[in-house]
Amino acid sequence: MSAPDTNEATELVADGNQFLAFRLGDEEYGLEILRVQEIKGYSKITPLPNTPHEIKGVMNLRGAVVPIIDLRARLGLREAEYTVFTVIIVVTVGTKIVGLVVDAVSDVLNVKPEVIVPTPDLGAGVDVSFLTGIARTGERLVSLLNIDRLVGNATEPALTA
């Protein structure tokens, strides 16, 4: 059994921010925990015609029709087989409910604001506007997503279809 993580960046702190950490391939990302409604195992998705590649379709969530976005496709990552660890993170984006397909959920991070560094400027050809920053937690670097920018425009065709 390993010793508990004593890294002060991830201790429970009243003035910190909480993020749900998840994996896409070998990379780790974080979403504001207050935006997360629930985490579901991957289940049947009904495809919709004429939607962007990243919108996998819709699913019935307790009577609500929820658009499902594959974050790998949205971020331009290569496709991967869905596994038993693949989950759908149900989040709120403005007044909408959206499901995000991710490879696996890691944990909840409690991050002090001072360990969040701004997203580096990677030049004019690289769009990093969907990132709010990068959290340094021990040896880990977790890219913190701005879910409004990342998902906001992508859901419009699915919601109006």
Query: In this predicted structure, what is the pLDDT of residue 87?
Result: 96
The three-state DSSP-derived secondary structure of 69-133 is: EEHHHHCCCCCCCCCCCCEEEEEEECCEEEEEEECEEEEEEEECHHHEECCCCCCCCCCCCCEEE
Query: In this predicted structure, what is the pLDDT of residue 131?
Result: 82
Q: What is the mean pLDDT of each run of 10 residues along the chain (161 residues)?
A: 43 63 92 93 91 92 93 89 93 92 93 80 63 84 88 53 36
Cβ 83 vs Cβ 72: under 8 Å:
no
pTM for the whole structure: 0.80
Query: In this predicted structure, what is the pLDDT of residue 154?
Result: 52
∠ CA 108-103-99 to the nearest 5 degrees? Answer: 80
Query: In this predicted structure, what is the pLDDT of residue 128?
Result: 65
Query: In this predicted structure, what is the pLDDT of residue 2?
Result: 41
Cβ 150 vs Cβ 119: under 8 Å:
no
**d(Cα 126, Cα 123) in Å, to the nearest integer?**
6
Name the CATH topology of 8-160. Answer: OB fold (Dihydrolipoamide Acetyltransferase, E2P) (2.40.50)
Report residue 159: phi and psi, to 5°.
Answer: -75, -25
Cβ 59 vs Cβ 46: under 8 Å:
yes
Delimit the domains of the chain by residue range.
Answer: 8-160
The residue written with tokens 């790998």 in the block is 72
The candidate with the shortest Cα–Cα distance to 148, out of 84, 96, 73, is 96
**d(Cα 67, Cα 126) in Å, to the nearest integer?**
27
- The structure tokens listed for 45 are 């998705």
